[in-house]
A and B are shown apart, each in its own frame.
Chain A
Amino acid sequence: MIFLARRLVFYFAAFVLAITFNFLIPRLMPGSPSDRIIASFQGRLSESQVAAIRRSYGFDGNLWEQYITYVQSVFRLDFGISTVQFPEPTAALLFYGAQWTLVLVGLAIFLAFFIGSFMGIHAAWNRGGFFDSFFTPINVMMNAFTPAIVALLLFYAFSLQLKWFPLGRAHDPNLMQNWFDLKFVGSVLYHATLPVLSILLVSFGGWHLGMRNVMINLLNEDFVVLARAKGLSENRIKYRYVARNAILPQITSLALSIGFMLGGALVVEQVFNYPGLGKFTFTAIGARDYSFIQGQLLLLTCSVLVANLVSDIANVMLDPRLRGR
């Protein structure tokens, strides 16, 4: 429990740091967002209008006052008003986009982790064999093909040329959003196939290699040799004695990889015109919608922190050595 408590303290500190970072970045950069807007009116604004713009961006008062206002607004989930879709609050847009990104990243991580880990187990068990010598390098190399390229390739082949998959959207626009409607869920999966595949193809190699290398080191541990000496069945040694232990560091990496996966989703959504956070961020970048861009960073940071907390809890449940601490 002390272990989890310490981790909680760390995550809180990291959260505070992230907020502070987020607060400081626009204030340290030359030309704050509000200054840019004011400048774009080329001096046609009155004093009070300038003050109002500054206030609405949280740039009035001294730095400390600004910081307090900022932290308060974060905890109220108030990220300001979107300039792209003008009257909409940024928070609403963020959460709308986040649900679709969650669909993509959730599916991709789940599949990549399981496919990659199983391949890694197989490769380590038959290390030096054909599967290991051939697919391990290939899979890991795919890791170095950025999601953007794989997405372009898939988009070109399956959406443009073969027309098997749609050219955009997260679901059939004629269907109402209803997660209990199988037809709707089917449409969501259909639209998500290629984007998920793009992220999946560039990330499962990492799990493959990670699992393989951890497994190979474990195969030389005394407790695995003892299991072999005991005459246990191959599957029991493989899964219960080796993979069971090898999965622990993988869970930690899983949580840490979510940030990377989210980055990949950002790009993939752009290619597939998928209405997730990345697509909105892209629009926001074009329109210099600072409240949205900052909001997405905060949202993503929080989700990574939560994922890490979940992985810590999973590790405590799976590793008896952590329980007593």
Chain B
Amino acid sequence: MSDLTHTQPFALRAESASEFASRAPDHVELMRELGVRPRPGWTSRLPPGLASFVTNGKGMAGVVILLVLVLMSAFAPLLSDYNPNRRAGKPHVQPGYEHVLGTTRLGKDVFTQLVYGGRVSLGVGLGAGAFAAVIGLALGISAGYFGGRVDDIITFFVNVVLVLPGLPLIIVIATMVEAASPMVIGLVLALTGWGWSARTIRTQTLSLRTREFVTSAELLGERKWRIILVEIFPNMLSFFVGGLVLGTIAAILAEAALEFIGLGDPNAVTWGTMLFWAQNNLALQSGAWWEVWPPCIAIMLTGAALVLINFAVDEITNPQLKASRKIGRIKRFLTRRGRGADVF
């Protein structure tokens, strides 16, 4: 705030010929009334996209939730002394001091299973999401940048992947490999889940393709892969992150669903197999709610966190969405001055 002229590009002007006309508030007043705050100093070194992400409340809330879940899974051995695969107590013990979240029908500790299961579920989800996003990025940029026959072929496969029903396809593959390990499920999910991000990135690349900076790089004789990497990729970053987030949500949910219906490896400890055993052991029917809800809540929290992150990414890729947030204050500004408040 030391440099006042900098934060105050327009100050009060001298009274003009129309002194009776309602005057606009000056810069400082307007900033206050509309709740516009200058960019926090500590974000000044960050690239603009990242800066608006870290100052986005929804996005950061999502990051915090996700981080807590990841850390709890990563430090699972520190949080629990039990072995997730072994009997730790009597069957269906209620939550209490010995067993924070009770035990399963087989006497395994639910909390231990939850934190260890997070390792696999989150790992597979993030891994499959990232893998799918990378495939989508590579194919999307190639299709959009090279055009012609390359585009035709890639677009065909993108459309096929989009059209084929994912889960039933995975079911067929998973059945064929007997009990599918989480790795296999993740791989299959990645290989079937890149359609959306490839399509979005292709469209974005197409619109970028004709911009001056790409054309000039071409005229300067830059190599194609260099243009893609240096000129196009940075502009795709937010779309890539968007694809990554959506792909991760889809992978985590699909993995849970697959394991829930019994296609996973029943001996692996994941949130999905926890649900599978709970359903198989009729936990709900026998009143052992603590065997069912913890994995449910863990999955829901992960999904919610990723959705929040995606909201923030959406607002970066689509400035219109962000502008909408100002509308309430603008309306109130106008109403206070007796002016029509029909803001569009």
Contact = CB atoms under 8 A, between A and B. Distances in A.
Do A and B touch (CB < 8 Å)?
yes
Interface of A: 10-11, 13-14, 17-18, 21-22, 25-26, 29-30, 127-129, 132, 137, 140-141, 143-149, 152-153, 155-156, 160, 213, 216-217, 219-220, 225, 228, 256, 258-260, 262-264, 266-267, 270-271, 278, 281-282, 285-286, 288, 290, 293-294, 296-297, 300-301, 304-305, 308
Nearest to A146: B253
Nearest to A33: B176
A127 B330 CA distance: 12
A45 B70 CA distance: 53
Contact of A282 (B167, B176, B261): B261
A129 B285 contact: no
B166 interface: yes
Given A10-B159, A146-B253, A140 B171 contact: no
A259 B156 CA distance: 18
A270 B159 CA distance: 30
A148 to B, nearest CB: 5
A249 B268 CA distance: 41
B172 A140 contact: no
Question: Which of A213, A256, A282, A294 is packed against the most chain B CB atoms within 10 Å?
Answer: A256
24 contacts: A14-B160, A14-B164, A21-B164, A22-B172, A128-B325, A128-B328, A141-B303, A141-B308, A143-B307, A144-B253, A148-B257, A152-B296, A153-B296, A156-B289, A160-B285, A259-B163, A262-B167, A262-B168, A263-B167, A267-B260, A281-B171, A282-B262, A290-B175, A296-B171
A204 to B, nearest CB: 14
Interface stretch (B92-100, B112-120, B227-235, B314-322): B314-322
Contact of B162 (A13, A29, A160, A256): A256
Given A18-B164, A288-B175, A290-B175, 17 more contacts: A10-B156, A21-B169, A29-B176, A137-B58, A137-B307, A140-B311, A146-B257, A152-B296, A155-B284, A156-B292, A213-B321, A259-B168, A260-B166, A262-B167, A296-B171, A297-B172, A301-B163
B275 interface: yes
B185 to A, nearest CB: 14
Contacts of B159: 10, 14
B292 A294 contact: no
Contacts of A145: 299-300, 303
B122 interface: no
A24 to B, nearest CB: 11
Contacts of A146: 253, 256-257, 299, 303
B44 interface: no
A156 B285 CA distance: 8
Nearest to B165: A259
B138 interface: no
Interface of B: 58, 156, 159-160, 162-169, 171-173, 175-177, 249, 253-254, 256-257, 260-263, 275, 279, 284-285, 289, 292, 296, 299-300, 302-304, 306-308, 311, 314, 318, 320-321, 324-328, 344
Contacts of A262: 165, 167-168
A17 B162 CA distance: 13
B314 to A, nearest CB: 7
Question: Which of B256, B302, B326, B344 is packed against the most chain A CB atoms within 10 Å?
Answer: B344
Contact of B257 (A147, A258, A281): A147
Contacts of A213: 314, 318, 321
A155 B261 CA distance: 16
Contacts of A17: 160
Contacts of A271: 279
B96 to A, nearest CB: 22
A252 to B, nearest CB: 10
A92 B341 CA distance: 62
Contacts of B302: 144
Nearest to B255: A146
A297 B304 contact: no
Contacts of A128: 324-328
A260 B165 CA distance: 6
B295 to A, nearest CB: 9
Contact of B308 (A137, A147, A160, A263): A137
Nearest to B257: A267
A308 B275 CA distance: 34
Contacts of A288: 175
A144 B169 CA distance: 21
B197 to A, nearest CB: 14
B319 to A, nearest CB: 10
Contact of A144 (B261, B296, B300): B300
Given A128-B327, A219-B344, A144 B303 contact: yes
